[in-house]
Structure formats: structure tokens, C-alpha cells
Amino acid sequence: MRRRIAPWAAWAIVGVTLALHVFSTTLVALGWHVETPADADLNAGAAGFVVAFIAFPLVGATIVTRRPGNAVGWLFLLIGLNLAVSDVAVSYADYAVYANPGALPAPNWVGWLGGWADPLFFMSVALVLALFPDGRALSQRWRPVLWLTLTAGMLAVSWNALKPGPIFEDTMPIENPAGIAWLEANLGFVDQVVFLSFGAGILLCGSSAVVRYRRSRGDDRDRMKWLAIAAVLLVVGFVAGVVLAAVGLQQLGQSLIGLGFAMVPVAVGVGVLRYRLYDIDRVISRTLTFAVVTFALGVVYVALVLFGQLVFSSLAGGGGGPVIAISTLVVAALFLPMRKRIQRIVDRRFNRRRYDSQRTLEAFGARLRQQVELETLAGDLRRAVDETMQPAHVSLWLRGAPR
């Protein structure tokens, strides 16, 4: 009975999450004509984060439908619902306090809901690291880490909910209606203790994932690789966002960070559900290649722009447009040769089977152009197939000469 209820409950949470995001978007549209503090987060760069907000609950519901006993799916649903509540809280308070004062009741209390949601998000992500991929702790010895993270996270949530002052300094400078000044005046040290414990729990959860990866073999190793690729995609998104922000494309950079964030639930979902699990080596190879190429070309682009502007400004007193155009052309010309060279280096280290297979086929192609004896070619073909495909049996059928 519980297995039947779990999918319905999961998709009901998805429906509530999407409805909250629609309500939040409606409030933003209604107050679009008025400049408010929350407008700082409303730009094209938020598109990537919208994808992430939707990806978490959808992947979580899919996992619960297929693996209702796996805690990772329920944690993803909690993350999605938490992000939706925070989104609605900020939009509601921003509209009711600044865009249309008095239009909605209790804006301070609704905004308060978004003020303590951040620790809940980080706690859920840390628990995903410790429980991936089967929803259980690595061993009995690691269970205290889960309790430490859970306890410290809930204490951090409680502290955020009760500390006095603005809910968010920039996007929601509204006084916390539940703030207790006595706590900060007399128990301010608790803040440091709680968040140090919370940080320790998150680091230990990450360490649990590393230990699990080192101990894993076979399918479990492939599943852990998907968690590793999720982390790589997130780092790539942040690096690309920083590089683009440095050259004035801040919104595009924010969008890439959000998309990198959205890849985390997708990669984790593949690892949990084992869907196309064995493509992970190819995914890692391609991801590392484009990560290295993106970083290298970004550094080259920034260096060319800065150096070119320095030279042109000293010689001609300007020239920013031509410098950017020339730098773009140079980077475009470098992309293909750099990608091919880096791809071979990455394949040699992380996708050795493909690298060896490619070398075998290249060697066979070279012999094929030089060899004309049929028996020798047939033997070379069998060896090439055996080395690249590794079949259980190889048979070669040759059409006989016409009579």
C-alpha cells in the first residue's frame, strides 16, 4: 500500500511546487512596473536557475516512483519545495510591501518563511551526498554524521527564523517579525557554534561520498561517477559564469551557473535509476574536454581583450570594439584544434577504451591501404574487431566469386 501511495504523494508535491512558482511569477508580473529591492535578481540570468528549480522536484518524483524507498528522491522533493516556498516568500513580500503596499495580508510573516530556508537547502544537499546512490549511509559508523548534519541544520533553521534584523539585506530588507533581540545580545556565540557544526556536517557528508567512491566497484563505481560528473558540471558552470562576468556578460554567466546547478539532479537521477549508466565514461570525457577548453579559451579571451585595450588605448586612445572583435575571431579559430588535442589527452586518461579502439582502427585503416592479400586482411579485420568490440565470437563471411 505504501508503494502505491508514494508516487501519488511525490507528484502531488511536484504539483504544489509548480503552482507556487506560477504564483510567484504572477506576483512578479503584477509588480513589474514598480522598482523594488527584489528586482536585482530579476534578469535574463535567472533563466538557468528556473530550470534548476523545476529539475529538482521532477527528478525527485521520478526517483520516488521507481525507487520509493530511496531517500534521495524525497530529499530532492524537499529541495524543490523549499526553493518554491522561498521564491514565493520573496515575491509575495516584495509585492505587498513595495510594489502594491497593503494589497496582501501579513507580508512580513510570509517573507519570514524565505528567511530561514537556506540552511534547509544546504542540509538536504549534504544528506544527498551522504546517501547517494542507494539511500543508505555508507556504514553504521557514518550514521552519526547524518545525525550531526540533520541536528545542526535544524538548529541553523531555528536560529535564522528567530534572529533579529532584516530578513535579506539586499533583496528583502524587511525586519524579521519573529526576531528576538535577547538571543543575539546574550547567546550570540550560539550562532557560531551552530554554523561551525553545520559546516562540519556538510564536509563530512562530502567525505562520505569520496570514501564511497574509492570503495565502490563495478556498477556502483559507475553510479558514483555520475555524482562526480554532477560536481564537475556545477564547477564548470561557476567558472564559466565568473569568466563571462569578467568580460561584462554577467547575466549570461549567471544563466550558465543556474544550468550547471540544474545538471546536478539530472546526473544524480541517472545514477540512482541506472538509466544509460554505462555512458558515464563518454560523458566524463566530453565534460572534461569542454570544461578545459572553455576555461582555456576564456583565459585567452580575457587576456587578449585586456592586452589589446591596453595597447590600443596607449596608441590610439580607444579601440575597444576592434579589440573585442579580433579577440573573438582568435578564440573561434582556436576552438576546433584545441578541442581535438585536449579530447585526445582526456580520452587517453579517462576513456582509455575509446582511445585504444580509435588507435586500433587507425592502424587497421593504414594496413588496409597497403595490404592486398585477402587472407591477411581477413586476419587483420578479426583482430581489429576483437580488440575494439571484444565479442565472444567473431565470424567473417566472404562472398564467393561469381560462377
Q: What is the dihedral of CA 70, 75, 80, 85, to 10 degrees?
A: 140
Provide the β-strand partners of residue 172: 168
Cell output for 251: 547575466
Return the pLDDT at 386.
63
Which strand (E) or helix (H) includes residue 167?
strand 166-168
User: Which of 52, 120, 51, 47 minimizes the C-alpha distance to 82?
Assistant: 120
User: Which of 110, 112, 125, 118 minimizes the C-alpha distance to 83?
Assistant: 118
Decide: 272 and 63 in contact? Cβ < 8 Å: yes
User: Which of 156, 174, 162 minimizes the C-alpha distance to 92?
Assistant: 174
The model's pLDDT over 218-251, given as tens digits with 9 standing for 90+, comes to: 777 778 888 887 787 777 777 777 777 776 677 7
Say which range, 60-69, 224-233, 284-293, has the weakest mean pLDDT.
Answer: 284-293
Radius of gyration of the chain (CA): 27
Predicted model pTM: 0.69
Residue 319 has pLDDT above 90, yes or no: no
Report the Cα 387 to chain-centroid distance in Å: 36
Q: Residue 292 class from Cβ within 10 Å (0-12 exposed, 13-18 middle, 19+ buried)?
A: middle
Say which range, 139-148, 204-213, 290-299, has the weakest mean pLDDT.
Answer: 290-299
